[in-house]
Amino acid sequence: MGFILNPLYNFVSGVIVLIHKALTPIFGFDSGVTWALSIVGLVVLIRIILIPLFVKQIKSQRALTALQPQMKAIQNKYKDDRQKQSEEMMKLYKEHKTNPLASCFPIIAQAPIFFALFTVLNGIAAKTDAGVSAPIARGFLKGEYLDSAAQATFFGAKISQSFLGSTDTTVKIVTIILIFIMSATTFTTQRQLMVKGMPKMDSSNNMMLQQQKIMLYLFPVIFAVSGVNFPVGVLIYWSTTNFWTWGQQYYVIKRNPTPGSPAFEELQQKRKHKEKLENREQSGTVINPENTDPGQTGAAPGQRKQPKKKKKK
């Protein structure tokens, strides 16, 4: 395992130490602010690296608008067979070389980084059997950096301490607040997506929606249970990354929503309204409302195709 994990330790600790070096003149070498911001910086760096992937995904979502009639046809054709429906949908995406889904690999790729940070921070907090603090150096976090990090505090709580691993009341309070922030940001991010960001067709399957609703409330609980084992530094990392996700999603839902989602319709209506106003100013005539309704124009071609296909059979 070492040959996989050591480069990760080096990466995580190297980034933290580098940012720490850059921030030392501002906040001081031993300041907890420097250390906390170093962790925040790590998040920002990773998320910036991931932005191109995100943009790519958004672009293929936008390309989907052209496929809307075909997608609606598939949905109507396989109304009762959800499996067949998603199978045909995937075929359609592949044919047109566009796929709005995020893909599985990136999250799995992020997990080792999270694990490495966890190990690096836990190393700081390591103790001998007798209870004497004996920090373990991992990657570039060694020497004076290690000693400084072992003493660094975040609102009075040592960044290497966890809720269960400490008797300090400050640590307990800070971890509880961070766990709360972590759960709250996850909850709002998911809710925002469920309410506004997802195509409406998903709500046709009640069981899945029901399950999703349960998870929406259950997940914060799971976080709370696992969060008590995490050092403050990891909780800072997690909360920051959640804030980033939320902000990114907010921006996309507002500016570039998934076709078919409530947010998409909202935006379309807003745009139509704007166009209407502009046209009115230009030509002085009111446009026929039939032409401006996005729902009607979108549905009409799909409905016309349907009977044709049935006749062929």
Partner 1 sequence: MRKLFLLIISFYQKWISPAFPARCKYYPSCSSYAASAVSNYGVRGVFMAIWRLMRCNPWSHGGVDYAVKPLQNIQKTSVGVN
d(CA 214, CA 209) in angstroms, rounded, equals: 9
State the DSSP H helix or E strand holding residue 213, giving kind and residue range, or none if neither. helix 206-227
Question: What does DSSP assign to residue 165?
Answer: T
Phi-psi region at 129: left, alpha or beta (left = phi > 0; alpha = psi -120 to 50)? alpha
Residues numbered 183-242 forming contacts with partner 1, rule: CB under 8 A: 190, 193, 197-198, 202, 208, 211-212, 214-216, 218-219
The span of 28-36, 88-96, 117-125, 228-236 binding partner 1 (CB under 8 A) equals 88-96
Least Cβ distance, residue 127 to partner 1 (angstroms): 32
| Choice from 93, 140, 230, 244 touching partner 1 (CB under 8 A) | 93
Look at the alpha carbons of 20, 21, 22, 25 in this order and tell me if their dihedral is positive or negative. positive
Contact partners, residue 75, CB within 8 Å, separation at least 6: 85, 201
The span of 34-42, 103-111, 226-234, 293-301 binding partner 1 (CB under 8 A) equals 103-111
Residue 12 interacts with partner 1 (CB under 8 A)? no
Least Cβ distance, residue 149 to partner 1 (angstroms): 32
Give the start-end residues of each E strand in 216-268.
Answer: none
| Choice from 98, 192, 269, 292 touching partner 1 (CB under 8 A) | 98
Helices then strands, counting H and E runs in the chain, come out as 12, 2
Residue 89 interacts with partner 1 (CB under 8 A)? yes
| Choice from 101, 126, 164, 287 touching partner 1 (CB under 8 A) | 101
For partner 1, the closer CB: 212 or 256: 212
Least Cβ distance, residue 103 to partner 1 (angstroms): 5
Q: What is the DSSP string of 9-56?
A: HHHHHHHHHHHHHHHHHHH-SS-HHHHHHHHHHHHHHHHHHHHHHHHH
Least Cβ distance, residue 115 to partner 1 (angstroms): 16
- Site size toward partner 1 (CB under 8 A) is 35
For partner 1, the closer CB: 97 or 310: 97
Give the start-end residues of each E strand in 244-298.
Answer: none
For partner 1, the closer CB: 118 or 187: 187
Distances (CA, A) of 253 to 7, 257, 295: 36, 4, 19
Residues numbered 280-309 forming contacts with partner 1, rule: CB under 8 A: none
Question: What does DSSP assign to residue 65?
Answer: G
d(CA 101, CA 96) in angstroms, rounded, equals: 14
d(CA 14, CA 96) in angstroms, rounded, equals: 42
Give me 275's structure tokens: 């166009």
Contact characters 28-57, partner 1, x per CB under 8 A:
-------------------------x--xx
The span of 97-105, 150-158, 265-273, 277-285 binding partner 1 (CB under 8 A) equals 97-105
Q: Which residues bind partner 1 (CB under 8 A)?
A: 53, 56-57, 84, 86-87, 89-91, 93-94, 97-99, 101-108, 190, 193, 197-198, 202, 208, 211-212, 214-216, 218-219
